[in-house]
Amino acid sequence: LTKEKIIIMTKIIAIDGPAGVGKSTIANKLSKYLDAPVLMSGKLYRAVACEAIIQKKNPTNIKSIEIIAQNIDVNIYSDEQLYNDQIDQFSSKISSKKPIRQALINLQRSFPKNFRKSKKFCIIEGRDIGTVIFPKADIKIFMWASSEVRAIRRLEQVKKVNKKAKLTSIQKSIIERDLRDMSRKLAPLIPAADSYLCDNSNYSIEQSFKTILKIIKSKKY
C-alpha cells in the first residue's frame, strides 16, 4: 500500500485597491484572525524607491533601478524610510516600468510556497495581485473608497505629526497616484472580473473587516 500524502494547499487571498483605502489595515487584521502570513507588495516597490534615492538615482534611470529591484531586501529599511511623501511619489513612478515590475514578480509569486504545508491561508495585497501576479488566487477582494474619504482619513493620521497639513493637497496627491496607478499600460490598478468589490467609503474599519471576513468564510475552505 502506498502511503496517502496529504498536501495542504494554502489558499491565496488577493487584496487590491488604491492608495489609502485601508488594504494593509485589513490585511493585518485578517492575518491575525486567520493566522495567515501577509505580503505587502507595495513595500517591495517602496524599498526599491528608497534604495534608488539612497544611491541618488533618477526615477527615469530604469536600467540601474532594475538592478536594485533584482537584489532588493525589504527587511533592511525602516517604516520611516519607506512611508513618506517622497517614497509615495518615487515608487508610484517606477512601478509603471516593465523591468521593475518584472524584477519583483518572482519575489511575490514565491511567497505562498513558503507556507504550502503549514498555513491554510496567505494574504497578498497590492494593485495587480488578483489580475497579474495571482490570476488564479482563491479569493480576490478589490477595496475602494472615494478619494475624498481617503484624503480625510489620511489627514487625520498626518495631523498628529503635522498640524498644518491640508486636505486639498493630500487629496490632490491621492488623485495623482490613482491616475498613475490606474492609467498605466502595464498591470494597471483594475478590479479582476472575479473579484469582490468592497467600497468602504461609508464603513468603519471594523465593518469593512467583518464584510471581507464574511466573504472568506462563505467559501467554506
- Which residue ranges make up the site for ligand DC (CB under 6 A)? 19, 41-42, 45-46, 91-92, 95, 126-129, 177, 181
| Alpha helices (H) in 3-84, listed in sequence order | 23-34, 41-54, 62-70, 79-82
Shortest spacing between CB 126 and ligand DC, in angstroms: 3
Least CB distance from residue 29 to ligand DC, whole Å? 16
Across the beta sheet with 196-199, the strand order is: 38-40, 121-126, 11-16, 139-144, 196-199
Q: How far is the CB of 105 from ligand DC (least distance, A)?
A: 10
Which residue's CB atom is positioned nearest to ligand DC? 42
Closest to ligand DC by CB, 22 or 36: 22
Beta strands in the chain (DSSP E): 11-16, 38-40, 121-126, 139-144, 196-199
Q: How far apart are CA 55 and CA 32, in angstroms?
A: 36
Question: With respect to ligand DC, which residue has the nearer C-beta, 69 or 129?
Answer: 129
For ligand DC, the closer CB: 41 or 171: 41
DSSP assignment letter at 9? P
**H-run or E-run covering 179:** helix 167-183
Q: Which CB, 19 or 123, lies closer to ligand DC?
A: 19
Nearer Cβ to ligand DC (8/182) = 182
As measured in angstroms, the least distance from the Cβ of 127 to ligand DC is 4
218 φ/ψ sector (left φ>0, alpha ψ -120 to 50, else beta): alpha
Measured from the CB of residue 112, what is the shortest distance to ligand DC in angstroms? 15
